[in-house]
Every structure is written in C-alpha cells, then in structure tokens.
Amino acid sequence: MNRTRILIALLLLGGLLARADAAPWVAGLHRLSLTDPVDARPMQALVFYPSSGQAHPVRIEGYQTRVAEEAPVAMGQFPLLVISHGNTGSPMALHDLANGLARQGFVVVAVVHPGDNNRDHSRLGTLSNLYGRPLQISAAITAARADALLAPYLNDGKVGVIGYSAGGETALILSGARPDLERLRRYCEERPSDADACKTHGVLIADHSELAPKADPRIGAVMLMAPLSLMFGRHALAGVQVPALIYSGDRDQLLALEHNADALARKLPVTPDYRLLAGAGHFVFMAPCDAEQHQRMPALCKDADGVDRRHIHRSLRSETTAFFSQALGVPEPAERSAALGQPEGQRNP
C-alpha cells in the first residue's frame, strides 16, 4: 500500500469513528441458507450489511432491530465478519453489535449453530458441537463469498470472527487453537457444580469421532466476549497468531474468570487487547433489552447496579469497529474505490 492509500485509509477510519452515532449507511438484512458440514443438513444465517435502502423496525425471535430487509448492498468493498453465538443462544442476541458494524461498513454473517441454539439443544456436550461449530463458521464464510447479493461487495482480505461465550471457543479453534479435552475432564472433576461447562461431567460424547479441530487460514482477527476457553493451555494456543480483542465482566456468573478470559489473556502468544468490565456479568454482552424482554427473560436482562448495558454496547460497537478496521483494513465505499482507481462494485483480483 503506497503512502496515498495509507492516508486515505486513515482519514476514512477517523471519519467512521467520528460518525459512530451518525453511521454512513443503514443495516441491510439478508437471510442466507447453507449446508451444515457436519451432517449435510440445511443451516441458516442472518447477514447484516451496509445498505443505502430504507430501514424499518422488525422483530425477530423476540428481538427488535431496525433493518432494510433484502435491500441492495451499498456500493464499495467491505470486510467480512462472522459471529458465533453462545451455547443454546441466538445470533439475534448480538443484533445491536451486528447492526452497528454493518452501518459502519462491515458485512456481518451471524450463523445459527445447528444442534446448539435456542430452539435445538441436541448437540450439547458432543464432539460434533465442539469441532462442528468452527466448520459451520468456515462454511458460512464460503457461502457468503459465493452469495449473489453479497459477493460483489466483499473484499478479498482476511475475515474477522466475533465469538460470545462458547463462540469464543469456536473463534479460537478457527484461528489455530487445539482444545485439550483432558483439561476439561480435570476441571469438571474439581468443579462438578459448573453446570454450564460440565453438563457431561467433563467427557464429551463422541458422536462424530472422525471430526478434529480445523483452523481456517482466512481468519485474520478475533473479538471475544466472555469467552469459554478453559480447554486451552499455553501449548494449545500456540497456533493462534492473529490479533485478539477480549472483553469479560469481572462478575461473570457462568464462567470462572480465572480459568477462562483471565487465563486466555495471559497465554495467547500474541498479546491481546484485554478489557475487563467492572461489575458486569456474563449476559451484559447480549443486546440491551426492551420492556417485553425484561418481562420474558429477566435473568438475561438485569445487570448489577451501576452497570449501564447501553453505554457498554455503544463502546463495544465503536471499539470493535476500530479493532477490525485496523486488523482487516477499513471499509472502502465506492467513492474511495474510485479514488484508488478500482472499479465500483467489483472485487479485487
């Protein structure tokens, strides 16, 4: 990249961050269907992307968001991000982060992990879930790059992964970590009351013994929120050579901090940017709740006194935008592509 291109990139990044509340685009929403690599059955993903269409309020799985459904993608070349949700979760629980990143120029694919989502728990505690989740994220990257709506506007650079809770484990495997199943067994022997990590008493069900951890060389950066990472010692993390941004709450009520985020931040070979949020619990990273959600799922919506989830999420959106812009390259709107001598709406060779 020559000096002029660097200057343009820095100016654009500064503009994006300065306009965090007045985003350049609205968020489009595209429903992506693909095939689960574990068993060849259909799986689904929601894609949030920059659009110049007209956004409207919609409610999906009980979450209210504002999107332009199936609207045209804004002209330009945009980095690709993929989200992996937590155990028994939903990608819509992270809709505000995905929406905000799309409005700043990222294409964000939020998968629904088969067998481990809010409607289907059939793969919990299995090898096919541990090793299948990363394969599903890789399949979503391939599907997005082949999708007729999205493909012309995706750049050819590295891909970012956002992982929440068990999605953090998924993101680490994709970036080169290799789980140590013996660490899980020992942990559950010592802490059998940990219902979240030790549902199968530390021994995973070998339903697909042919599966193994598989990194994806397309991954260029990871952003992790309250990551489940107790299966990774220093040796298991040696292959992770990408930048990482890690968030955790110091009052996480599900994951023991000293065995997960704290330990991970110390052991990653590339020193991460680690941000510990005072007073925050495990669910603070889920989108802020409206009144209906507070009534329906109060345990997921209520934060400790003094914890402002909306403020935290404003910071998450702006800091994640800056992190991925630096790690993957800034989004290139059509006017910037033209300034750099690139045809509009075409991918780099």
Cβ atoms of 26 and 101 within 8 Å: the answer is: no
The model's pLDDT over 120-178, given as tens digits with 9 standing for 90+, comes to 999 999 999 999 999 999 999 999 999 999 999 999 999 999 999 999 999 999 999 99
Give residue for tokens 């155990």: 87
The list of the chain residues with pLDDT below 70 reads 1-22, 335-349
Cα-only R_g, the chain: 19
Structure confidence at residue 349 (pLDDT): 30
Query: What's the pLDDT at 13?
Result: 53
What topology does CATH give the domain 3-339? Rossmann fold (3.40.50)
The encoded tokens of residue 133 equal 């989740």
Domain residue ranges of the chain, discontinuous segments joined by +:
3-339
Any idea how long the chain is?
Answer: 349
* Res 263: pLDDT: 98
> Can you read off the two tokens belonging to residue 288?
């802020």
pLDDT at res. 194: 85
**127-146 and 166-174 are packed helices; what angle lies between their axes, rounded to 10 degrees?**
70
Q: 24 near 118, Cβ under 8 Å?
A: no
pTM, entire model: 0.90
136: tokens are 């599903």
Which pLDDT value is given to residue 334? 82
Q: What percent of the chain has pLDDT over 70?
A: 89
d(CA 194, CA 182): 16
Listed residue (179, 297, 189) closest to 227, CA to CA: 179
Q: Side chain identity at 292, as an amino acid letter?
A: E
At residue 12, the pLDDT reads 53
Residue-level pLDDT at 335: 65
Residues 280-295 have pLDDT tens digits of 999 999 999 999 999 9
